[in-house]
Amino acid sequence: MISWFHQQRLDAVHAAVMQSGATSVLDLGCGEGHLLTRLAEEPRIRRIVGIDLSRPALDRLRGRLDAAPHKTGAHIDLIHGSLVEVGLSFRNFDAALLVETVEHVRPEHLSAIERSVFGTMRPRLVVITTPNAEFNALLGVPRHRFRHPDHHFEWDRAMFGRWVGGVAARNGYDVVRHDIAGRHTVLGGASQMAVFTLRDANDPLPAMGQEVAG
């Protein structure tokens, strides 16, 4: 059973992937595969790779895929490991998804995530969702705490905007942000989503720290 808020996150990311026309997807931090199994049911999706640090979660996902009543036409690989350690073999995917993942990464390691996803993998679409700290008051979360003990940070919308804007500028992507998972007129949604689109796959990759005008 997943929460209404998480269902809304999955709906938003699923829609972004399908609107992009992607046929190959990297689900980075796939967990038990609530999103991966949905995408596997889409006839257009031909290849999916799920990567996660939790072996038990991947084992549960394998069980769900084996027990699925309708076998998918997609080729699916599940990999135990860190998304910063994957190599150029994942460079030619259409989309990479990080759903409620980056907040589990220590802030000092975010640059490694950026290099791995936007530099090495370099898909034409990247979708990232993360909790919106402004919404925490509506969830009864005290200001001195995060929603989950494994979170290393939770950004408000201004902080998230600065980070995704910098990532997009440094790596030649355009980015659009959305409030998702419920919407409060002042506080936004429970989560926030950034949809990155590669400007030109043939452009040379900017050096880290070099901003791209646009």
Cα gap 174→125, rounded to integer Å: 10
The CATH number of the domain holding residue 105 is 3.40.50.150
5, 49, 85, 128 from 209: Cα distances, Å: 35, 29, 21, 21
Counting the structural domains of the chain, the total is: 1
Owning domain of residue 14: 4-198
Q: Is residue 107 part of a domain?
A: yes
- pLDDT per position as a tens digit, 115-174: 999 999 999 999 999 999 999 988 888 888 888 898 999 999 999 999 999 999 999 999
- C-beta of residue 117 within 8 angstroms of C-beta of residue 93: no
- pLDDT per position as a tens digit, 4-24: 888 999 999 999 999 999 999
